[in-house]
Amino acid sequence: MQTPDDDRISRRELLQRGTLAGLGLSLLPLGAAAQPTAAQPTARAGARVGRYATLGRTGLRVSDISFGGSRLGAGEGDLVRHALDRGITYFDTADSYRGGDSETTLGEALRGKRDRIHIASKTYTSPTDRRDSMMRALEASLRRLRTDYVDVYFNHAVNDVERLRNPEWREFTARARQQGKLRFVGVSGHAGRLIECLDHALDTDSVDVILVGYNFGQDPAFYQQFTRSFDFVARQPALPRVLEKAKARNVGVIAMKTLMGARLNDLRPFERGGATFAQAAFRWTLSNPHVDALIISMTSRELIDESLGASGWRRAAADDLPLLRRYAQLHGASYCRHGCDDCLGACPYGVPIGEVLRTRMYAVDYGDLALAKSEYARLVAGAAACLSCAAQPCRGACHHALPLERLLAPTHRLLTS
């Protein structure tokens, strides 16, 4: 079975890394992102939320760095209470996270504190789901969360506009809103057809909040200072446009996947003055005025405190950009830009390449095999066809030089074993 150490670098990949290493010393997040400041903050125990943002037209005041519950398991309520003690007010979960344990743990830990916090949850719907099944899913989430309502309820991991066009979803959300079971409606996404789905949601005025994968590795502006005429690094030119569009329509914007794969330990030897790669990545995301807040899976007290070291910042700090540049050099040619859609249609057998690589990220980058397997099991079509594919039609389909033909079959084996 292929392991991360076996992901050998292709010739094209090697050339690209060499090019990146030899170009430019200054990486500035152009356009919406701000210029760096001279001061560099230090991480510290006991860090607290430094800023609360208004989440678009919802009027909700949320901590700029908030709690993601995708990896929250049973018996981990202390993490939730620690985040609350540090000033975090927005807690994000989904009915699928840890088989419902994430919602249950949040509900237990936040009991009696409902007036101090905002809870968001999600459910996955298909184009043919009926409103009654959607209501049952919401009511099950409310029971686990020990609450009468959620503040934001997301159509989860949208990757097909037909799911958003399903009239049953709008009927369901209208009814649930009328019954007081949810306050605001959202869509979340960071995989295939992302831009198409977000544009549809915004153009039909069907959402109050979007939760979207967004990091320095997905914004072409991050690379413009040192790629010049090259076009192989970032292929998400429409994502900043969609964020700006959401802001113009007063739709709340929350970012996720802000760490570009979250290989946190890879940058520890290069961190200086107590500031960390995670903080640099968060500050870069929050420097975009079209982003209200971000969520991060918080798996330890230390990670909570480290994350909050970037709270309150709206600009990059002096040493942030070299850290981000180094990370991009290390992982730019091995990280799948979920939602870039380069590989759509590359497989004649219908393998959803971007979705498969998203689940691989959970296993390889996050080190969370349980989450990876649960997300892979949700795919209508996985990568089973890759086990017997000799033609390799996906070879060269990724403009970021990911060796798709060497990643898909091992991912299937890993996540179905």
pLDDT of residue 8: 32
pLDDT of residue 222: 63
Longest dimension (CA), the chain: 59
pLDDT in tens, 165-187: 999 999 999 999 999 999 999 99
What residues have CB less than 8 Å from 375, skipping those under 6 apart?
Answer: 96, 358, 359, 362
String of DSSP letters for 214-256: --GGG-HHHHHHHHTT--SS---THHHHHHHHHHHTT-EEEEE
Residue 129 has pLDDT above 80, yes or no: yes
Residues forming beta bridges with residue 67, ordered by sequence position? 91, 296
pLDDT in tens, 349-370: 888 888 888 788 788 777 788 8
Q: What is the mean pLDDT of residues 45-60?
A: 94
Break the chain down into helix, strand, coil percent, rounded to 5.
Answer: 45, 10, 45
Bigger pLDDT: 52 vs 416: 52
Q: What is the mean pLDDT of residues 118-130?
A: 96
Residue 125 has pLDDT above 60, yes or no: yes
- Quickly state the pLDDT bin for 398 (edges 50, 70, 90): confident
Q: What is the mean pLDDT of residues 24-45?
A: 43
Mean pLDDT of the chain: 82
Q: How far apart are CA 407 and CA 390, in angstroms?
A: 14
pLDDT of residue 45: 64
CB atoms within 10 A of CB 245: 18
Residue with tokens 């084996």: 413
% pLDDT > 90, the chain = 50
Look up residue 380 and give its two tokens.
């209508």
Q: Which of 51-65, 183-197, 255-269, 403-417 has the highest mean pLDDT?
A: 51-65
Rounded to 10 deg, the angle between the 11-22 and 320-331 helix axes is 160
pLDDT of residue 272: 77
% pLDDT > 70, the chain = 80
pLDDT of residue 320: 87
Q: What is the mean pLDDT of residues 128-152?
A: 98
pLDDT of residue 153: 98
pLDDT of residue 61: 98
Dihedral pair phi/psi, residue 212, rounded to 5°: -135, 140
pLDDT of residue 39: 45
Q: What is the mean pLDDT of residues 57-73?
A: 96
pLDDT in tens, 91-119: 999 999 999 999 999 999 999 999 999 99
User: Domains in the chain, ordered, with CATH?
Assistant: 52-331 (3.20.20.100), 342-416 (no CATH)
pLDDT of residue 186: 98
pLDDT of residue 27: 33
Pick from 353, 292, 332, 334: which is nearest to 159 by CA? 353
Bigger pLDDT: 49 vs 25: 49
Dihedral pair phi/psi, residue 372, rounded to 5°: -60, -45
Residue 390 has pLDDT above 80, yes or no: yes
Q: What is the mean pLDDT of residues 382-390?
A: 86
pLDDT of residue 126: 92
Q: How far apart are CA 270 and CA 268, in angstroms?
A: 5
Dihedral pair phi/psi, residue 156, rounded to 5°: -90, 135
Q: Radius of gyration of the chain from Cα atoms?
A: 20
pLDDT of residue 361: 79
Look up residue 185 and give its two tokens.
């409606």
pLDDT in tens, 306-329: 999 999 999 888 788 888 888 777
